[in-house]
Structure 1
Amino acid sequence: MAASKLVDPDEFIRWYGEGKTYSWIMDEYRRKYGLQIGSGTISNWRHQLGIKKRAVRDSRLIPWAVRPEHRCHHVLQMLRTEARHRGGQPVAPDRLRKLRYWLDNLAAQDAVVHYEPETSQGWWLVPRRPGVDADLIREPGVVTRSRGSRS
């Protein structure tokens, strides 16, 4: 078994707790220790140290199994950001501004998010159905989201 590249567990825990991004941690390890690590390494350290994931999973906002080609779309990023915000997790100020602008736009259009995995676009803003679509999304007939990965 190879030796761990984790130089200082307390430092890693502090960085992670401060909300440093995986990219920032990888760059800092390269700068400070001359070690090349990847995001999988950071995820493994987090799991080994018993640190909970930052990601907030909210199946009420994202009830779909999202195809890989649709995972970087702006609409999904905004739904994830709203899930973090609702979950009481920190959201960067610039991201929060984008979220507020996006939410204001949805409200002005009286629109909700709809996901069609079989299309190339995937994400759509569609008119809210009064009495049916109570939140930010078009209520799907079937929830297709899997339960998620390890914590």
Structure 2
Amino acid sequence: MPKSLVQNHQELDEWITSGMLYNEIIEIYREKYGIELKPAMLANYRKRRGLPSRQVRSNLVPRNLEPVHRGRYILDMLRLVARDRALKDESLSETDRKLVKPLSEREQTRMDAFLENLAAADAVVTYEADTEDGFYYVPRTEADQDIVRYVGIHAPVDE
């Protein structure tokens, strides 16, 4: 078994749970230990150690998402909206806020365009797992309270 690149587990755990970005950790490790880490390695380390997820939980992303639909543009946009909302959520603790990566200028531009297009079309997003595309735009109804409409097993669980 290869020797671990991690020099101090307690230190690395603290950095990850404090919300430090992976790129920041990689730079510190390079300077402090002369060791080159990769983001995927840090993500796997976080998961193996049972540290909190860096992904924003949201009612915008459907449950029971089919693997074939995970790379879809609409899903990417819903995740951007979820991150943006999390950063603006005043009830979010400072520790949790640090875990949410701010949107880059490019991501902000893409998200804004997505939301403008939804509004202009007076549409919401729905998800149908048993279809090729998975995500679809459907006309907004009076019952729609957000930018998504999910029913049945794909309806997100309120946390």
Aligned to 2:116: 104
Aligned to 1:73: 72
Quick check: 2:22–2:42 contact (8 Å CA) kept in 1?
A: no
Quick check: 1:116–1:123 contact (8 Å CA) kept in 2?
A: yes
Quick check: 1:112–1:126 contact (8 Å CA) kept in 2?
A: yes
Quick check: 1:111–1:128 contact (8 Å CA) kept in 2?
A: yes
TM-score (norm 2): 0.67
TM-score (norm 1): 0.71
| Partner-residue secondary structure (3-state), 1:105 | helix
Quick check: 2:60–2:156 contact (8 Å CA) kept in 1?
A: no
Is the alpha carbon distance of 1:102 and 1:45 closer, same or farther for their aligned partners in structure 2, counting shifts above 3 Å?
same
CA RMSD of aligned residues (A): 3.2
| Partner-residue secondary structure (3-state), 1:112 | strand
Is the alpha carbon distance of 1:49 and 1:65 closer, same or farther for their aligned partners in structure 2, counting shifts above 3 Å?
closer
Q: Distance in 1 between matches of 2:137 and 2:114?
A: 11
1:104-134 alpha-carbon deviations (Å, 9 max, x no partner)? 110000111011111111111111112x111
| Percentage identity across paired residues of the two chains | 32
Aligned to 1:33: 35
| Partner-residue secondary structure (3-state), 2:75 | helix
> Is the helix fraction higher in 1 or 2?
2
Q: CA deviation at 1:53?
A: 1.9
Higher relative contact order (CA 8 A, sep 6+): 2
Q: Distance in 2 between matches of 1:86 and 1:99?
A: 12
Aligned to 2:90: none
Structure 1: runs of 5+ lacking an equivalent: none
Aligned to 1:144: 154
Aligned to 2:54: 54
Q: Distance in 2 between matches of 1:109 and 1:67?
A: 26
Is the alpha carbon distance of 1:107 and 1:135 closer, same or farther for their aligned partners in structure 2, counting shifts above 3 Å?
same
Q: Which moved more, 1:43-52 or 1:118-127?
A: 43-52
| Partner-residue secondary structure (3-state), 2:84 | helix
Quick check: 2:62–2:127 contact (8 Å CA) kept in 1?
A: no
Aligned to 1:45: 45
| Partner-residue secondary structure (3-state), 1:114 | strand
Q: CA deviation at 1:8?
A: 5.6
The number of aligned residues is 135
